[in-house]
Structure 1
Amino acid sequence: MNQQGVRWTAEQVLALAPDDASRRAGSRLGTAGPWSGGGSDGSGAVWGLCRGSGKTPYRTVVDTTGPAYTCSCPSRKFPCKHALGLLLVWAADEEAVRGGEPPDWAETWLSGRRAREAKKEEREGRGGRDAGDKGEGAGSGGDPVAARRRAEQRAARITAGAEELEQRLADLLRGGLASADRSGYGPWEETAARMVDAQAPGLAGRVRELGAIPGSGPGWPVRLLEECALTHLLDRAWLRLDRLPEPLAATVRTRVGLTGPAEGPAVRDRWSVLAQYDTSDGRLTTRRVWLYGRSSGRTALVLSFGAAGRAPALALPVGVALDADVRWYAGAGQLRVELGERYADPVPDSGPPPGGSVADALAAYGSALRDDPWLDSWPVTLTGVVPVPEGDGAWQVAGADGGGALPLTPQALARPGLWRLAALSGGRPVTVFGECGHRGFTPLTAWSADTPETVALT
């Protein structure tokens, strides 16, 4: 290990990019040419000045222990192309990024960030949490009566929203599903807006999905009926929440949008970063980061969010391992976690997690559905599978031993990672991590015997 610690690979750096355009722009800046005044220290800081079109170079700083970034450029993307380029230069061990002490302009940001982290750890050590992590009753000034009153008022608004949505679904069925494409998306968006007013973002999201189905291609009435049934089931579950067992009630609260704080003891482990990808509904960007605990054997999901046009702040390079704490949220299959204290810099990972066959993946998804009927997919690792084209643009991953196959989802077919997977395999068996659901399998990461490094497919 050199002075800067373990350096990332170029692939791990590019996995942080918020989109393909940033990935390409960052790659163009990933050489020493446009950089000056660069350096890094033993605590995870990397900095540099990037020449732009103006007279003043852009000042870029990265704290790789986060990772966290800052740059004087006007970009709203996070990380910006300059941060990506700087990390690529650093990853290549170029002379442009030598060891040393950070200059004042970099040290100011680094010191402020580390001071904030220290205060946060101090609060958590006293048993406190940030206001954003308090869930219902945040900002109540510690008044449990006021917090309970607000919780009751929100529950009443959600109940009114669920009852209104039930009426909307009943009207749709009375009018016939085949007529759903005639009214357009407007009525659905209006209903979704009322769910937002009812403080039920989970129901609002499902309504928007329903509105998009009539324009989704052949077979849409069947898909609309399926999703209407699941939405009706969620409505009825909320309206009879007091009759449900607590684990299922916690899942229902999560699905309608009532997410409480992560609770329970922290679990420290060596967490492999298996995958990271973003989705957006035009209003909010959601980043999903999949982790696997090497000692606990548990798979965990970290969610972070960014307003429209801005990437979420949390970014973890795929293919590294973190020595860190996590806390689980209640409900929804016990997958979502809050990432806590990290005890060391990320290090290269040791390979794929344990996996199984296609039949094992389907059994795992089926078992998870018993606890969460609204579950779209479940994280699985497939071993010994080969990507195979089926014709008409369709693909599947099939067991090399003939032990079953899974079709790839439309999302997977639209991603360039499909061709990366096919090239990695070359007709030979590979190990693939992804999400298995009722629409098929979405590969996210892969490993081969010839290429032990983690290959991101998103």
Structure 2
Amino acid sequence: MTREAVLALAPDEASAKAARGLISPAKWPLLGHDAQAAWGECQGSGSKPYQTQVDLSGPVFKCSCPSRKFPCKHGLALLLMRAQEPQRFSTTGAPPAWVSAWLDGRRERAEKQAQKDVQKQEQRQAAAAAGEDAAPPAASADATARQAKRWQRIEAGLQELSRWLAERVSQGLATPPAGGAAEWRTMGARLVDAQAGALAGWLQAAGAEVDAPARLLARLGRLQLLIDAVARRDALSEAERADVRATLGWPLELDEVLARGEAVDDRWAVLGQIVEEREGRLVERRVWLQGLDSGRRALLLDFSHGTAGFDMPWVSGQVRAGRLVFFPSAAPLRALVEQRGPAEAAPPPDAGDWTAELDRAAAAMAAHPWLPLWPLALQGVLRLHGEQLCLLGPQGRALPLRVPADQVLTLLAVGGGAPVQASGEWNGETLRLLTLRGDDAWQLGRGEGAGR
């Protein structure tokens, strides 16, 4: 991996800067690598050095440091040194025991998962050959009863929410609730009790827009639309019902997704990715992909806790052949990885036509009204409009970009006034910039994390 590719893995600019400060030889009493892994011991503030290791097939990182960022500065520094000064790494002898044990564990888990994938594929093929439905068998009477009971709780909770929303609108959106912010939290807690916990986050986001009545009304309108959709769910298509369930926080089991979802084989390019920390040390990662042959867009949504990290790494600008299985949806976007091949030396996809890109986003958000984000890949020129950084396109079009304030000048310098290819997350109002590519290489435009 090149120096630029390593730095693109950093969760934020602070981690990249810290990693660059750790490449001094005095800090690494042990360095080694082979074709499979790189490892080292980095002297920190404690008496024992941190044990840092990287599986190069990913890359996948592990470190004994207490950092909650992934990868940590030690893992990044290890790969930076390997990219810049490979002669510092020993190539003689076997890896230390702590490296071998970790690699063996990863290999065993991968083999077991591969066996499960083969078995599932054989079962689907056998069912298709026999003319049978490859979907899982019908739910048992107990499961059906549990689902019916949950729908009853959700309906009761949404009826209360509908009354509460009507009261807010009748009082006027410019008039804050008598209970202030606590009233929004109380209503959210009731939705959690009604097994529609995901809507608590929607209410929290709406409560933060009390000073922007137009945006507040739009958020409340989508909530009322969901209330109406639940009431007439039997008249919806299967894909629309899947969107309603997911918006309520009632997801499908992964095995059910693999059995029912649409499978797409393609070469998938990483348009961009972002890692954010949520409450309770929960870490969310969103990876946005584009099929080079199909043109399909996909979202890989993963979660980890604390410093556990993610077993399946992705590098912005990288291309991998593989099979994705999409969650049922009226606007299929989220997907699971069923098969993934090695990284390919392929150029990233060209940015799309502005009209086609925005029309596709509008169509997706119309089909799935609660879809929070859609990936855009556009070519344009970076310009400042007052203090707002924008991407200028053809016919005078401009999209406001969401980037950290301390990166605006850097991104303008990367663009240099020439056309660039930008990829990011579109929420209908702003484009959160994730990657920016000029003539030379991918540059990471890191968004600020939630809660920072």
TM-score band by shorter chain is 0.7 to 0.9
Superposed, 1:65-214 pairs within 5 Å as: 65-99=57-91, 101-127=94-120, 144-180=140-176, 183-214=179-210
Q: Which runs of 5+ in 2 are unaligned?
A: 122-137, 447-452
Instruction: Tell me the equivalent position of 1:47.
Output: 39
Instruction: Tell me the equivalent position of 2:15.
Output: 22
Q: Separation in 1 of the partners of 2:60 and 2:5? A: 15
2:385 matches 1:397: no
Task: Render the CA deviation track for 1:71-98: whole Å, top value 9, x for unaligned.
Answer: 2223333322211211222222422334
Letter in 2 for 1:122: Q
Instruction: Tell me the equivalent position of 1:138.
Output: none
**Residues 92 and 194 from structure 1, CA distance in 2 versus in 1: closer, same or farther, beyond 3 angstroms?**
farther
Instruction: Tell me the equivalent position of 1:442.
Output: 432
Which of 444, 448, 451 pairs up with 1:456?
444
Task: Render the CA deviation track for 1:21-41: whole Å, top value 9, x for unaligned.
Answer: 333322222444422332222
**Residues 378 and 78 from structure 1, CA distance in 2 versus in 1: closer, same or farther, beyond 3 angstroms?**
closer
**Residues 67 and 171 from structure 1, CA distance in 2 versus in 1: closer, same or farther, beyond 3 angstroms?**
farther
8 Å Cα contact 1:361/1:436 also seen in 2: no
Question: SS in structure 2 opposite 1:319?
Answer: coil
Q: Separation in 1 of the partners of 2:170 and 2:307? A: 39
Q: Separation in 2 of the partners of 1:146 and 1:69? A: 43
Instruction: Tell me the equivalent position of 1:139.
Output: none
Residue 308 of structure 1, CA deviation: 6.9
**Residues 144 and 372 from structure 1, CA distance in 2 versus in 1: closer, same or farther, beyond 3 angstroms?**
same
Which of 49, 62, 67 pairs up with 1:57?
49
8 Å Cα contact 2:285/2:302 also seen in 1: yes
TM-score computed with the length of structure 1 as normaliser: 0.84
Residue 46 of structure 1, CA deviation: 1.7
Residue 366 of structure 1, CA deviation: 1.9
Question: SS in structure 1 opposite 2:279?
Answer: coil
Which of 224, 232, 244 pairs up with 1:232?
224
Q: Separation in 2 of the partners of 1:416 and 1:177? A: 34
Q: Separation in 1 of the partners of 2:8 and 2:142? A: 44
Q: Which runs of 5+ in 1 are unaligned?
A: 1-7, 129-141
Residue 375 of structure 1, CA deviation: 2.9
Question: SS in structure 2 opposite 1:12?
Answer: helix
Aligned residues: 423
**Residues 254 and 381 from structure 1, CA distance in 2 versus in 1: closer, same or farther, beyond 3 angstroms?**
same
**Residues 361 and 268 from structure 1, CA distance in 2 versus in 1: closer, same or farther, beyond 3 angstroms?**
closer
TM-score computed with the length of structure 2 as normaliser: 0.85
Q: Separation in 2 of the partners of 1:124 and 1:52? A: 42
Q: Separation in 1 of the partners of 2:307 and 2:168? A: 34
Q: Separation in 1 of the partners of 2:12 and 2:308? A: 11
Which of 26, 36, 42 pairs up with 2:29?
36
**Residues 326 and 236 from structure 1, CA distance in 2 versus in 1: closer, same or farther, beyond 3 angstroms?**
same
Q: Separation in 2 of the partners of 1:172 and 1:337? A: 37
Q: Separation in 2 of the partners of 1:342 and 1:416? A: 36
Q: Separation in 2 of the partners of 1:435 and 1:339? A: 21
8 Å Cα contact 1:16/1:79 also seen in 2: yes
Question: SS in structure 2 opposite 1:192?
Answer: helix
Instruction: Tell me the equivalent position of 2:382.
Output: 387
Question: SS in structure 2 opposite 1:235?
Answer: helix
Letter in 1 for 2:162: E
Instruction: Tell me the equivalent position of 1:414.
Output: 404
Letter in 1 for 2:161: L
Letter in 2 for 1:79: P
Question: SS in structure 1 opposite 2:35?
Answer: coil
Which of 224, 240, 246 pairs up with 2:238?
246
Q: Separation in 2 of the partners of 1:96 and 1:144? A: 61
**Percent identity between the aligned chains?**
36
